[in-house]
Structure 1
């Protein structure tokens, strides 16, 4: 039976104990890791896209996305306190509903972490190049993006380029060198060690929080309530569409659970890190988004026929160019550096420059946590035999999974070098939502199959909270653009091929052993 392979919680804990990572993180560090993973891409990069989809109603979108994450976080907290090992949703699924679905969750998490890390690296590159331009240094376009390359690739496959070919060849490039450099730097930092990474991350978190507090302090006093009308220009569909996209703004809080095996007193500290970081980030999102809307407005841009334009589309770019060419102020929805643009419009260009600098300094922390989460997922899957066991090697000096870090870093770097931000956030969301859904399912199943097991943290009202998490994940998934909806099943089919052609026959549970030491696993059910 393909659903018969379940690795018991006792076997998982025993494996982790034999080949464990160094426990060095406390509750405060975990909370900062969560904030570092979450605050960044969404508020610095995706605010404009959310505004185009929902207008001022994007405030509700942040609440909707935050609520889905909150109920998922409560489910995560129970499982993470019971199973304080690396692996996050993959490990929990393996223990509850079996190897096949666990593999699919781990495979889907590649979309969340690896694709997410690449997207953030490209977003950082855009901000860095913009900051250099504002400082009088114009970074060559040919090595700061891959617009020309992607336009030619799309044309070669008979598709209409998302960027006008003439424009792409004039201002576009062939490789995103800044994104490559930041990806390599983060990879090197992760190899050095978790404590060192957390220390650097803590500094970056403080910088980004200071920048956002400055933004709120400058925009709230002059807030114009008229800019909030109409509040729902695109209706509830727009609100859920924006929520589905800016869900990426919350992605990363679950990376806290992947650090469980490197956490002191994980039963107490992991739930604190998960829920604490989520609460802080949600408050910041609402404050900053309200300040941006109140300062210059956030009504969507429409086409000549009055139809709402798709963010990032060629039509949207053309409409924005026409607006600015007419001498009008560039709308919030057209800006690639939304917060910087708001401060420039309201007469604070110097502070805008500093906020841009903070974004350049802060976004690497998001790349770090995305890549961190991916390496720990791969590490755990390799430790279970589903991936080459060499990937589970731990560096003799730094005590970090260095080989899998190199592999993850190389893949993220290549993607960041040649792929545009574009729809990467939506693609990443599809994998994340699937993982969150499986965590909620696992909590309910485990309450039935193993009710007596000690639960240092219990999800409150689990039979209400977990179903709400499932319903929320499905609703947001169905609110994604069609291409993003299709990515998950296509990626899943590829994952099934890898599983049945390689991983299934090499699984330690399937072979009756706990790990590569060859020890028997009498408590691991396998068929």
Structure 2
């Protein structure tokens, strides 16, 4: 039976105890890690993307995405407090619905974190380019984005070479070199060690919060009601449409901005007193981030407006597309003010327009300093999921190797860094975020299912944190995840089944025959000789 392999919770806990990572993180550090992973992605990187899809209505998009994350976070909190080990949704699914679905969830999480790290790296690169432009040092166009490359690819596959694509080919680039560099630096930092990474992250979170607080203080006083009209230029949106616009379409993209709380749960095995600290870290970080998102988005919209840019005949332009890049370049070349939806550093642009250019550059500097913390947490979560899957025998044991000096899973960290760097070099931030969301939403849905199943199959197990009204909260999380997935653009919808097909092939050709559960080695003892312990 392909659904018959379930790894008991007792075996999972025994394995973690035998070969666990060092427990060094407190509730305060976990909250900072969560805030570091969440704040920044949506505000610094995706504000323009959301505005292009929903206009001022992106405020509702933040609420919708935040609500779905809130109900998912409550499910995560119960499972993370019960099973304080690495692996996140992968581990929970293994214990509840079995190995095959656990593999698919783990495979989806790889998509979520690795591609997500690439998206934030591209956003960081945009801010670095703008900051350097301000001091007279210009990164060559060919090395600061891949707009021209994407335009050439579209034409090669049959797209009509219209004026917007021609403009993108002329002014766009062929790779994003700064994004590749920052991923390389973050990879090195993660190899050095988790504790060191958390300390650096704490400083960066404080810088980021200070910058966003300053932005709110400067923009809220100059809000103009007219800038919120039309509030819903594309309406609520249709989940069955391939365009991915409207409030729901923007919410599906913005959902990417909240996934940092999931990275907190992947750190459970490295947390002191996880039964208490993990739920605190999850819920506290989500609450802080949602408040900031709404305030900053309101300031940006109210200060300069957020109406979408359209084609010459009034058609919808997909954010991050080569056509969109070409249209924006044409608007700027005409002498008109650059719209918010066109800016690659939205908050800096807003402050410059309202005559706070120096503060704008300081906010840009804060993004350059702080966004690497988001890249760090994305890759942190990715490597820990990969590490756990390898520890279970589903991936080569070499990937679970622990560095003899730094006590970190260095091999899988380096592999992840290389993959993330390749994606960041050639893909735009919006597409990367949407692709990441496809994996995220599937994983979150499985967590919500798992928490309900465990309530029935193992009701007596200790639950330091219990999801309130679980049979209301968990179904809301499932419905929300499905609804947001259907609201993604067509290409992003297709990524999950395509990625999943590759994963299934690997599972049946390699992983299934080597699974420790399948071989009866799930007691956390038999594989000790192949994978050294991570504890000091």
Q: CA deviation at 1:394?
A: 1.4
- Quote the Cα distance in structure 1 between the aligned partners of 2:11 and 2:22: 20
**Residue number in structure 1 paired with 2:207:** 207
Q: CA deviation at 1:40?
A: 1.2
- Quote the Cα distance in structure 1 between the aligned partners of 2:267 and 2:151: 39
Q: CA deviation at 1:293?
A: 1.0
Q: CA deviation at 1:303?
A: 3.3
**Residue number in structure 2 paired with 1:191:** 191
Q: Kindly indicate whether residue 101 of structure 2 is the aligned counterpart of residue 101 of structure 1.
A: yes
**Residue number in structure 1 paired with 2:5:** 5
What are structure 1's unaligned runs of at least 5 residues?
521-527
Once the two structures are superposed, residues 99-120 of structure 1 have per-residue CA deviations (whole angstroms, 9 ceiling, x without a partner) of: 0000000001111100111121
- Quote the Cα distance in structure 1 between the aligned partners of 2:29 and 2:298: 29
Q: CA deviation at 1:45?
A: 1.6
SS in 1 for 2:466: coil
Alignment of 1:348-387 (within 5 A): 348-387=356-395
CA distance 1:515–1:126, shift in 2 (3 Å): farther
Which of 270, 277, 281 does residue 285 from structure 2 map onto? 277
Alignment of 1:283-294 (within 5 A): 283-294=291-302
Q: Is the 8 A contact 1:385 1:515 kept in 2?
A: no
Q: CA deviation at 1:308?
A: 3.3
SS in 2 for 1:508: coil
SS in 2 for 1:220: helix
Question: More deviation in 137-146 or 258-267?
Answer: 137-146
Once the two structures are superposed, residues 342-384 of structure 1 have per-residue CA deviations (whole angstroms, 9 ceiling, x without a partner) of: 0011000110011111111111011100100000000000000
Q: Kindly indicate whether residue 421 of structure 2 is the aligned counterpart of residue 452 of structure 1.
A: no
Alignment RMSD: 1.9
Q: Kindly indicate whether residue 332 of structure 2 is the aligned counterpart of residue 324 of structure 1.
A: yes
SS in 1 for 2:415: helix
Q: CA deviation at 1:515?
A: 6.5
**Residue number in structure 1 paired with 2:57:** 57
Q: CA deviation at 1:67?
A: 0.3
Alignment of 1:427-506 (within 5 A): 427-506=435-514
Question: More deviation in 302-311 or 374-383?
Answer: 302-311
- Quote the Cα distance in structure 1 between the aligned partners of 2:414 and 2:312: 49
Alignment of 1:284-433 (within 5 A): 284-433=292-441
SS in 1 for 2:48: helix
- Quote the Cα distance in structure 2 between the aligned partners of 1:438 and 1:182: 32
Give TM-score scaled by structure 2 length. Answer: 0.93
Alignment of 1:126-165 (within 5 A): 126-159=126-159
Q: CA deviation at 1:175?
A: 3.2
SS in 2 for 1:329: coil
**Residue number in structure 2 paired with 1:75:** 75
Q: Kindly indicate whether residue 34 of structure 2 is the aligned counterpart of residue 29 of structure 1.
A: no
- Quote the Cα distance in structure 2 between the aligned partners of 1:425 and 1:161: 26
- Quote the Cα distance in structure 2 between the aligned partners of 1:361 and 1:163: 37
Once the two structures are superposed, residues 163-212 of structure 1 have per-residue CA deviations (whole angstroms, 9 ceiling, x without a partner) of: 96654554333432211211111011111111100001111111111100
Q: Is the 8 A contact 2:82 2:464 kept in 1?
A: yes
Q: CA deviation at 1:162?
A: 10
SS in 1 for 2:429: coil
Which of 257, 261, 264 does residue 253 from structure 1 map onto? 261
SS in 1 for 2:424: helix
Question: More deviation in 173-182 or 91-100?
Answer: 173-182
SS in 2 for 1:235: coil
**Residue number in structure 2 paired with 1:525:** none
Q: Is the 8 A contact 2:93 2:447 kept in 1?
A: yes
What are structure 2's unaligned runs of at least 5 residues?
238-245, 529-536
Q: Is the 8 A contact 2:14 2:524 kept in 1?
A: no
Q: Is the 8 A contact 1:27 1:273 kept in 2?
A: yes
Q: CA deviation at 1:143?
A: 2.7
Give TM-score scaled by structure 1 length. Answer: 0.95
Once the two structures are superposed, residues 66-121 of structure 1 have per-residue CA deviations (whole angstroms, 9 ceiling, x without a partner) of: 00000000000000000000000000000000000000000011111001111211
Once the two structures are superposed, residues 444-474 of structure 1 have per-residue CA deviations (whole angstroms, 9 ceiling, x without a partner) of: 0000000000000000000000000000000
- Quote the Cα distance in structure 2 between the aligned partners of 1:503 and 1:189: 30
Q: Is the 8 A contact 1:162 1:313 kept in 2?
A: no
Q: CA deviation at 1:325?
A: 4.0
Q: CA deviation at 1:295?
A: 0.6
Question: More deviation in 328-337 or 29-38?
Answer: 328-337
Q: CA deviation at 1:322?
A: 4.2
Q: Is the 8 A contact 2:331 2:338 kept in 1?
A: yes
Q: Is the 8 A contact 1:142 1:174 kept in 2?
A: yes
SS in 2 for 1:347: coil
Question: More deviation in 324-333 or 346-355?
Answer: 324-333
CA distance 1:161–1:65, shift in 2 (3 Å): farther
Q: CA deviation at 1:330?
A: 2.0
Q: CA deviation at 1:406?
A: 1.3
SS in 2 for 1:398: coil
- Quote the Cα distance in structure 2 between the aligned partners of 1:183 and 1:316: 26
Alignment of 1:162-173 (within 5 A): 167-168=167-168, 170-173=170-173
- Quote the Cα distance in structure 2 between the aligned partners of 1:509 and 1:165: 52
Q: Is the 8 A contact 2:129 2:138 kept in 1?
A: yes
Q: CA deviation at 1:151?
A: 3.8
**Residue number in structure 2 paired with 1:47:** 47
Question: More deviation in 98-107 or 140-149?
Answer: 140-149
Question: More deviation in 463-472 or 483-492?
Answer: 483-492
